[in-house]
Amino acid sequence: MAKKQLDVLTALDAAKTQWYHFTAIVIAGMGFFTDAYDLFCITTVTKLLGRIYYADAPNVPGILPMSVASAVTGVALCGTLVGQLFFGWMGDKLGRKKVYGITLMLMFVCSISQGLSFSSSRKGVMATLCFFRFWLGFGIGGDYPLSATIMSEYANKKTRGAFLAAVFAMQGFGILAGGIVSLIVSAAFRKYEADVSHNLAVHESDYVWRIILMFGALPAALTFYWRMKMPETARYTALVAKNASKAAVDMARVMKVDIEDNQSNMQSNEPEFGLFSVRFLRRHGRHLLGTTSTWFLLDIAFYSQNLFQKDMFKAVGWIPKSGEMGAIQEVYTIAWAQVRIAIFSIIPGYWFTVFLIDHIGRFVIQLIGFFFMSAFMLVLAIMYDYWRGHKYGFLVMYAFTFFFANFGPNSTTFIVPAELFPARFRSTCHGISAAMGKAGAIVGAFGAGYLAQDDKHRKTALLILAFTNALGYVFTFLVPETNGRSLEEISGENDDVEDKDRDPTIPYTVSV
């Protein structure tokens, strides 16, 4: 590796924590705030959609049919999966910054458009809503690999874990914001609700879900200017674009570091190898299997819990059943439950990770999270009939599963793929890992979600989720600890120069 490149990387790893690091956290984190708002605010309005458009349903009036409910909640996840693969690959090919703004523009346009899903028939409204939520998810998907890669490449090695965790922790505030906006909007429109029957003021109520969904465009719009002002990451410029001088200039422009520019750019003699080549698989195949499998298993449980928590809360009597309250009142009640879970369980879990990850490491936190998620789910499943008569005990146990998801694998599965892989594959491999996570989320939304809506099968759903968390615990042992080391040391990029004359038939030793 050229000396100039090493100078840039060393300066990045040794840089003191400074104001630009926090600016980068806010810029990247606001993307995740928007992501979480857009993905989870649908939870508060699905019942209202059923009341407005399916009030004449023959079996359960006012409830979205299972196929429609799964499509409305799951189609954004399908778009997210595709976006993670596409933008992850684009981030390595064109650079992180060049495609970073595109994702935000997609999120802005589709957040507005999904609220304008007008049609003369309910099928038309649902189809249009699903169309725009797919492309909304496509933009959200790009935020995962790009934000993670950008933050990891800006951070120093001492506090890199905390910075990445802080970016992802904005997801908790996005979930909280979804509940708060739903509370405010539903409270403003409750005067139009005549009674607890299905004969609500449809015209006024139709504005409620549209305003809630469209609000997601606001944080995206506020972030766009600052995102476009960010320079390309110095690691991408130095290691992938092979322009160490420009990397030094860009870094000096935003951070207080000084690198002497007294030599020409020297090209690295490192041997190039492709994604999924034999050399890549020898070095990183096990790591990629670990990051994809753990994220897949985690999201089956995490998204099932988030998207269908309202059904669990109704089952234990924490919130009334649909027939006992009006449609807009139901939005208010579900939103209020979401706000309390976010404040007392979800957000604390994220910030425990922020404060502890650089002290106890990613590996330990992920094992702790999977273990306790599995344990609490198993206890809830085995004693489900008992907990139904003890709703506050159920809520405490259920809240702990959220806490240990976020003080655990929901944070670490996002962080570790941004650290393990070489710079030229980092965004792509993070996108692949995240896409496998969304595949798990889709399984949760379309599979476990069906079970969670039926009271007879909720115990089975909890048992399945406990088992998937236990599998996540086992697959965690495929993932190495990355704490306290530079990205180049972790990925082995510093060793590439020494490897140029190596016999390719001799296996590489990868420390785990």
What integer pLDDT is reported at residue 225 of this predicted model?
Answer: 84
pLDDT digits (tens, 9 = 90+) for 96-116: 888 888 898 999 999 999 988
Mean pLDDT (whole number) for 458-464: 84
Mean pLDDT (whole number) for 239-266: 68
What integer pLDDT is reported at residue 370 of this predicted model?
Answer: 96
pLDDT tops 60 at residue 319: yes
How confident is residue 350, by pLDDT bands cut at 50, 70 and 90? Answer: very high
CA angle 451, 454, 458 (to 5 degrees): 55
427 lies in a domain? Answer: yes
Of the ranges 154-158, 197-201, 309-313, which is most confident? 154-158
Q: Is the CB of residue 39 less than 8 Å from the CB of residue 140? A: yes
Q: Is the CB of residue 400 less than 8 Å from the CB of residue 341? A: no
What integer pLDDT is reported at residue 279 of this predicted model?
Answer: 86
192 lies in a domain? Answer: yes
Q: Which two tokens stand for residue 346?
A: 């979800």
93 lies in a domain? Answer: yes
Alpha helix segments (H runs only) across 383-457: 384-388, 391-406, 409-415, 417-420, 423-443, 449-453
pLDDT tops 60 at residue 162: yes
Lowest mean pLDDT among 161-175, 214-228, 305-319: 305-319
Mean pLDDT (whole number) for 1-6: 56
Q: Is the CB of residue 83 less than 8 Å from the CB of residue 145? A: no
What integer pLDDT is reported at residue 69 of this predicted model?
Answer: 82
pLDDT digits (tens, 9 = 90+) for 37-81: 988 888 888 888 888 888 776 555 567 787 888 888 889 999 999
Alpha helix segments (H runs only) across 190-241: 202-214, 217-229, 234-235
In angstroms, what CA-CA distances link 175 with 9, 192, 268? 36, 27, 45
Q: Is the CB of residue 68 less than 8 Å from the CB of residue 52? A: no
Mean pLDDT (whole number) for 448-468: 77
What integer pLDDT is reported at residue 257 of this predicted model?
Answer: 60
CA distance 289 to 259: 38
Check which CATH number belongs to the domain holding 292 and give it: 1.20.1250.20
Mean pLDDT (whole number) for 454-472: 84
CA distance 433 to 365: 18
CA distance 417 to 430: 5
Q: What is the pTM of this model?
A: 0.86
> How many structural domains comprise the chain?
1
499 lies in a domain? Answer: no
User: Residue length, the chain?
Assistant: 512
Mean pLDDT (whole number) for 7-12: 70
Of 426, 383, 404, nearest to 473 (Cα)? 404
What integer pLDDT is reported at residue 506 of this predicted model?
Answer: 37
Backbone Cα Rg of the chain: 24
Which SS3 state, helix, strand or coil, does residue 231 take?
Answer: coil
How confident is residue 501, by pLDDT bands cut at 50, 70 and 90? Answer: very low
Lowest mean pLDDT among 282-286, 339-343, 433-437, 488-492: 488-492
What integer pLDDT is reported at residue 478 of this predicted model?
Answer: 95
What integer pLDDT is reported at residue 222 of this predicted model?
Answer: 85
Lowest mean pLDDT among 53-67, 143-157, 287-301, 335-349: 53-67
146 lies in a domain? Answer: yes
Mean pLDDT (whole number) for 237-262: 73
Q: Which two tokens stand for residue 288?
A: 């990629």
268 lies in a domain? Answer: no
What integer pLDDT is reported at residue 450 of this predicted model?
Answer: 64
456 lies in a domain? Answer: yes
Q: Is the CB of residue 7 less than 8 Å from the CB of residue 247? A: no
What integer pLDDT is reported at residue 135 of this predicted model?
Answer: 95
Q: Is the CB of residue 107 less than 8 Å from the CB of residue 216? A: yes
Measured over the CA atoms of residue 93, residue 98, residue 102 and residue 103, the dihedral's sign is positive
271 lies in a domain? Answer: no
The residue among 470 and 206 whose pLDDT is bigger is: 470
Q: Which two tokens stand for residue 507?
A: 């296996």
The residue among 194 and 293 whose pLDDT is bigger is: 293
Of 204, 63, 216, 194, nearest to 137 (Cα)? 216
The residue among 399 and 138 whose pLDDT is bigger is: 138
Exposed (0-12), middle (13-18) or buried (19+): which is 436, by Cβ within 10 Å? buried
- Supply the range of the domain harboring residue 352: 3-256+280-486
Look at the block and give the residue holding tokens 């003699």: 269
User: Cα 254 to chain center, whole Å?
Assistant: 27
The residue among 175 and 324 whose pLDDT is bigger is: 175
